[in-house]
Amino acid sequence: MQIKDKIVVVTGSASGIGLALVTRFRQEGATVIASDLNAELGAQKAAELGVRFVAANVAKEDDVVRLIGDVEAQEGPIDLFCSNAGIAIGAGPETLDKHWQLIQDVNVMSHVWAARHLVPRMLERGGGYLLNTASAAGLLTELHSAPYAVTKHAALAFAEWLAVTYGDRGLKVSCLCPEGVWTPMIENAPILQPTAVTTEFLADKVMEALAAEQFLITTHPTTLQGFGQKASNYDVWISKMRHLRGKAMALLGQGQAAFVGKPE
Ligand SMILES: NC(=O)c1ccc[n+]([C@@H]2O[C@H](COP(=O)([O-])OP(=O)(O)OC[C@H]3O[C@@H](n4cnc5c(N)ncnc54)[C@H](O)[C@@H]3O)[C@@H](O)[C@H]2O)c1
């Protein structure tokens, strides 16, 4: 897909990867609609970039419906919908149910709701494009947070399913699976920082992949190397991950989980 003159929605637009995607899509000549839960920062960043902002909490289906309806009424049919908003919270199984539910809603159900309300419209008009942000954690794991690892696996599985099911009917799907990217999300994850890439580098990768209509978008060669090792010998891969987890916890200092964030 060429981005120029397309109608593009990006969720999680106030910060990090979403902000970088809005910036790049705007530079490439798209009509971009930025959306975030953080209405104040989101509106400020959108105004700086000269794009329209729609506040929405993607953890609520009604908000996703309102966002899609608002854009299609004002700008026209959405060509590319980027379900990018995501959170990293929790640690192990002791993570409270309400926090498991929240991360499930933000990282997975928001993708389901976007597809539920947009895919029928896209199929009816002969096609459309979904860019869903999962993570390298969806292919590998996340060393600090089980809820993050689980929900990113689910996000990748859902994107795969959409691509398999609707690809023959004109729906394009890409799944963004970065390793460390310099955004506020990795501030408390020192293990990711030495190899973290910039959001501009990530935006380059996304533009290349959208042009090629490629399903899987990664940012680090280590992601697919690790995925290959996992496929060829799961037990060896798990023992490598145990070793890496030891390093990650030592870097954190107290052996505590990094992603205890602000879930509410
Ligand atoms: N930074 C990384 O290293 C990295 C790596 C892999 C995947 N990701 C994924 O990339 C995506 C963007 O992450 P980021 O690094 O830019 O993080 P970020 O924290 O900088 O930005 C996330 C944005 O999402 C918004 N948001 C959170 N909950 C929301 C909700 N319920 N509704 C709408 N907006 C909401 C936040 O307000 C924020 O503006 C996430 O899905 C994340 O899991 C990030």
Residue 21 lies in a domain: yes
Domain residues for the domain of 124 are: 7-252
CA 86 – ligand 1 centroid, Å = 4
- CATH code (residue 150): 3.40.50.720
Residue 192 lies in a domain: yes
CA 12 – ligand 1 centroid, Å = 6
Per-residue confidence (pLDDT) for residue 252, from 0 to 100: 83
Per-residue confidence (pLDDT) for residue 262, from 0 to 100: 46
In total, how many domains does the chain have?
A: 1
Confirm if 115 and 172 have CB atoms less than 8 A apart: no
Per-residue confidence (pLDDT) for residue 136, from 0 to 100: 98
Residue 260 lies in a domain: no
264 pLDDT above the threshold of 50: no
Confirm if 185 and 179 have CB atoms less than 8 A apart: no
Residue 242 lies in a domain: yes
3-state secondary structure of 214: coil
| Test site for ligand 1: of 33, 37, 193, 202, most ligand atoms within 8 A of the Cβ | 37
pTM above 0.85, yes or no: yes
What pLDDT digit, counting tens, does each position of 195-205 carry? 999 999 999 99
Residue 36 lies in a domain: yes
54 pLDDT above the threshold of 80: yes
Mean pLDDT of 186-192: 90
Residue 48 lies in a domain: yes
186 pLDDT above the threshold of 80: yes
Q: From the CB of 258, is ligand 1 less than 6 Å away?
A: no
Mean pLDDT of 58-80: 98
Q: How confident is the model at residue 253 (pLDDT cuts 50, 70, 90)?
A: confident
Q: What span, in angstroms and rounded, lies between the C-alpha atoms of 121 and 144?
A: 39
Per-residue confidence (pLDDT) for residue 254, from 0 to 100: 54
Q: How confident is the model at residue 148 (pLDDT cuts 50, 70, 90)?
A: very high
Mean pLDDT of 188-209: 96
Q: From the CB of 11, is ligand 1 less than 6 Å away?
A: yes
Q: From the CB of 180, is ligand 1 less than 6 Å away?
A: yes
Q: How confident is the model at residue 193 (pLDDT cuts 50, 70, 90)?
A: very high
